[in-house]
Amino acid sequence: MSRSNLSNLHIAASSDQGKSQLEFPLQFVQVTLQDIPEVPQAQQAAYRRSGNKGTPIVLLHGFLGDSANWQGVMTEISQMVALDHALDQGSAIDLIALDLLGFGASSKPSVAYTVAQEVAFLRAVLQQLGLESCVLVGHSFGGWVSAAYAIAYPDQVSALCLVAPAGIRDDSFCGRYNWMRPVLWQTPVVDALLWLIKPIAILFRQIKTLELVCWARRELNRQPAARSFLVDRLRPEDAIDTVEKYISAITSPTLILAAEEDDTIPLWHCETYGQQISGAELRVIPKAGHGLPQNNPTAIAHSLIEFMHRLRSGLPSGSSSNAYL
C-alpha cells in the first residue's frame, strides 16, 4: 500500500463531503459463531438500521471502515423510498449496515482474522435478526466478504452489489505494505518517535504525511481485524482466501460498481468479477475514487435502487460490459 493508497483509505473512512445525513444510531445484538474454533462463540454485533419492514439490504463496509461509512447511502435511499422516486408505490426497504467482526463497535477478539470468520459472523447476525435472505452490498473488503458469503450461502443472497470489491489475488499489492511495518509494531517506542520527528516534519513540510501515518497507526490499533490482515498478508503466498477461483459459482443477480479513478482497487479486479459471474453488470462511476459510499452516495443509491427495480420488474440485470454512469 503506497502513501497515496493510504490517503485514499483515510478519505474513504471519513464522512462524505459534509452533506446533511439522517442519523442511524448503533444497535447491538449478541450472536453465536458456529464452526470457527479459534474464535469464542459468543460475540457482539453492532449495526445501524433504517427500519424493520421491507426488503432487507445489508451493507458491509471496507477496510479501516465501519457502519457509519454507509450513512450517506442510507440517507439517500431512505429519502428516495419516502418520495417514491424509484420504487413502486408501497414498496419498502430495510437497510442494515453492519460493523464486521474486529471493526467499529462489534467484538474484537484477539485472533488472526480471516474472511471465513467474517462470513460466519455475518451468517450469525442474519440468523439472529431473523433474515432468511437479503440483498448483500459490500464495499472493498466488505465486497470480498459479500462475494465469499454468496459463494457459501447462495440461497440466502437474493441479489449482490459489489462496490469496488477486494478479494481478487493481486501479488503487486504485497510490496505496497512493506513501508508500513514499523507503523504496525506494538510498542510505545513508535509513538514516541512519531512525536519526536514532528518538528522535522514541519521543517520539511511533511506534516500532512506524518499526520496520515499517525492516523493509520491509531486506526490499525483500534481495528484489530484491519491490522491482522496487513500483518498476516505481506507475502504473495499469504493470499489463501481470495475468491477469484470460486466467483463463477455465484448465482445471485449481481451489480458491480467500479470507481474510474480508484488507485486502491484496480479496474481489472472489478472486471474479473464481471466476467466470471454469470449475467453480472459492471458499471464505472466517472471521476470517482475508492471511497464510493462516503463520497458518491447518490450514485451508489441510484444504481442500487435502479438495479433492484429492474429485478422486481423481471427485466435483465445488465451485462458485464463497462457501462459509465
Rounded to an integer, the average pLDDT of 93-101 is: 97
The letter for the amino acid at 103 is F
Q: Beta strand pairing status for 322-324 and 281-285? A: parallel
Instruction: Please tell me the distance from the alpha carbon of residue 154 to that of residue 128, in angstroms, as a whole number.
Output: 19
pLDDT tens-digit readout, 187-198:
888 889 888 999
Model pLDDT for residues 10-45, shown as the tens digit of each residue = 545 554 444 566 789 999 999 999 888 889 889 999
In this structure, which topology does domain 3-171+238-324 adopt according to CATH? Rossmann fold (3.40.50)
Residue with cell 448465482: 251
Q: Give mean pLDDT, residues 87-96.
A: 73
Q: What is the pLDDT of residues 281-296, one digit of tens each?
A: 999 999 999 999 999 9
d(CA 308, CA 317): 9
pLDDT for position 301? 96
Mean pLDDT of the chain: 86
C-alpha cell at 258: 467500479
Cα torsion 133, 139, 261, 231: sign: negative
Contact 47, 96 (CB under 8 A): yes
